[in-house]
Amino acid sequence: MRKSIQIIAFSLCFIILMLSCGCDINSGSNKIISMDVDTKPKNIDPQLAVSDSELIIARNTLTGLFRISEDGKAEKSLCESVKVSDDRLTYYFKIKDAKWSDDRQITADDFVFGITRALSPITKSPYASSLFYIKNAEKFHNNEVGLTELGISATDSTTVKITLEKKIADIEYKLADLSAMPCNREFFTECKGKYGLSEVDMLYCGPFYVSSWSEKSIKLNRNNDYAGGEVKPASVTMTFGGTSDERIEDISKGVIDVAVIDAGKEGLAKETGLKTSSVRSTVWAIIINPNAPIAGTELGSSALIKSLNRTEIERSLTTGYSIFSGVIAPDLFVSGEKYGSHIKEYTQQVADVEKAKSEYMQALKEGSGSMSGASLLYVDHEKMGNIAIKIAANWQSNLDAYVNTESVSLEEMKTRIKNGDYTVALYPIGYGDYDAENVLKQFMTDNSDNIFGVSDPKFDSLMISAINAVSAADKANALHKAEQQLINGGYISPIVLSPTVIAKTPTMTGCIFDLNRGNFDFVNTGK
């Protein structure tokens, strides 16, 4: 990268939810790759990035000790070598001789500072819990211990020491997450609270750097000083806000190369001659406010769930969506392996309208208040709106419970659930995450990320067993028992499984889609 150029800005759950957009990694170098994404970037601090554009920028302009390769393996990036203690609880990572985009030397302290920033409660990083494998990390995040007791330090300028809470099998994968990205302490201080908020308040150490940024597009140019290996594309350009139909048309005309499209449009994309691939990544489930009148009672919640005719709901689903009975989507990962490769059978939730009606009437008789005027929240999405309407129609016809439907943004839904300002919600479980364990940990009683008000000692005990399991098979089976307890306890009722679908040009190669680690990794992409 030319150091005289003024840098313009930086930056979405298992171990990797990834789709390969091709396999010939030796063709199509030095190309300009283009795509359309849903949102414009706002805050591109990797420890805070949440939107699709922010995650993509972070993934492609930063790198950590490890990156995830095209074949799904964790490979060294800024890590030169690793030494492990005999008890496999302490790791020493030697870092490569590498520099930030302004010529500052990358040091071990950059990784220590980046990770401690992510864990600090002041930062309010949504990824803090993904670092709780580090000794005392959760206690540090909860202000129970100080920095000196946190299990990460720099033994010298080139060595990062990490001590674990317990042995884990996938630390290299975890250190490829955005939460583990480095941050230069001195530069962060110089930004005076603006880190990641503007084009001049960011440093890059990844395969690309931001060369231009406007309201209409953002361009990433190849970083020729990248220490992590070869970078194939010359640049990546992102535009914002196209519909699925527009994206399919633009890809077919060569205007853009790749984009996420609605699952119901995959057939159209294929008919147009595009390549597609998908990941079964999100479960849409009914969440019931445990403190809501009637609905939050044991009888009321049971009635709402038993009254749902899933066969009837299934008839309203479009292509790509399917009825599902688990909390964890099958393509999320557990210790590096897909959850669905271990768990294939679920207890089916069968409607019992007669019993549901009886329970609901008893709940009305025993409780105070009613569900009159209550709303079913759903994320502002056409497909979810149709499903929400069908669910509300079930409650009306089977229980005489007149529930409205209300469209909100995902951010507003999370806020209202956290504040208890809702009765029922159709919530996306697993959206924005890749790790099956993390998906369920958010329901644990003492988890600060538990916005659902779930407090179930049996579930907590099952989760502790899952967290302590080492092998993928043991962890998956333990998680399955925990998810069944969530369902049996009436806290959650899975309804629909939806995939993330990628459409791309037939000639694109080497593009990785990774649901959590920044969506798209373009380092090996050609066309």
Per DSSP bridges, beta strands 424-429 and 375-379 are: parallel
Phi-psi map region of 28: left, alpha, beta (phi>0 left; psi -120 to 50 alpha): left
3-state helix, strand, coil in the chain (%, to 5): 30, 25, 45
Q: Which residues contact 77 (CB under 8 A, 6 or more apart)?
A: 63, 64, 65, 66, 67, 176, 227, 228, 229
Determine if the pTM surpasses 0.85. Answer: no
Residue with tokens 């084009």: 199
pLDDT digits (tens, 9 = 90+) for 130-185: 899 999 999 999 999 999 999 999 999 999 999 999 888 789 989 998 999 999 99
Question: Tokens in use for 224?
Answer: 């020729």
Query: What pLDDT was estimated at residue 3?
Result: 35
The b-or-e profile of 133-155 (16+ CB within 10 A means b, else e) is bbbbbbbbbeeeeeeeebbbbbe
Question: Tokens in use for 276?
Answer: 């597609």
Instruction: List, for the chain, all residue ranges whose pLDDT scores fall below the cut of 70.
Output: 1-27, 382, 432-433, 515-518
Query: What pLDDT was estimated at residue 317?
Result: 87
Q: Is 3 exposed, middle or buried (0-12, 13-18, 19+ CB in 10 A)?
A: exposed
Query: What pLDDT was estimated at residue 60?
Result: 94
- For helices 298-306 and 382-399, give the axis angle rounded to 10 degrees: 110
SS3 242: coil
Query: What pLDDT was estimated at residue 382?
Result: 67
Query: What pLDDT was estimated at residue 278?
Result: 87
CB of 119 closer than 8 Å to CB of 150: yes
Exposure of 396 in the CB half-sphere (CA atoms within 13 A): 14
Query: What pLDDT was estimated at residue 135?
Result: 97
- For helices 472-488 and 457-468, give the axis angle rounded to 10 degrees: 170
pLDDT digits (tens, 9 = 90+) for 412-427: 999 999 999 999 999 9
Query: What pLDDT was estimated at residue 517?
Result: 57
Q: Which residues contact 33 (CB under 8 A, 6 or more apart)?
A: 233, 235, 236, 237, 257, 258, 508, 511, 522, 525, 527
Arithmetic mean of pLDDT over the chain: 89
**Over 292-355, what HEC string results?**
CCCCCCHHHHHHHHHCCCHHHHHCCCCCCCEECCCCCCCCCEECCEEHHHCCCCCCCCCCCHHH
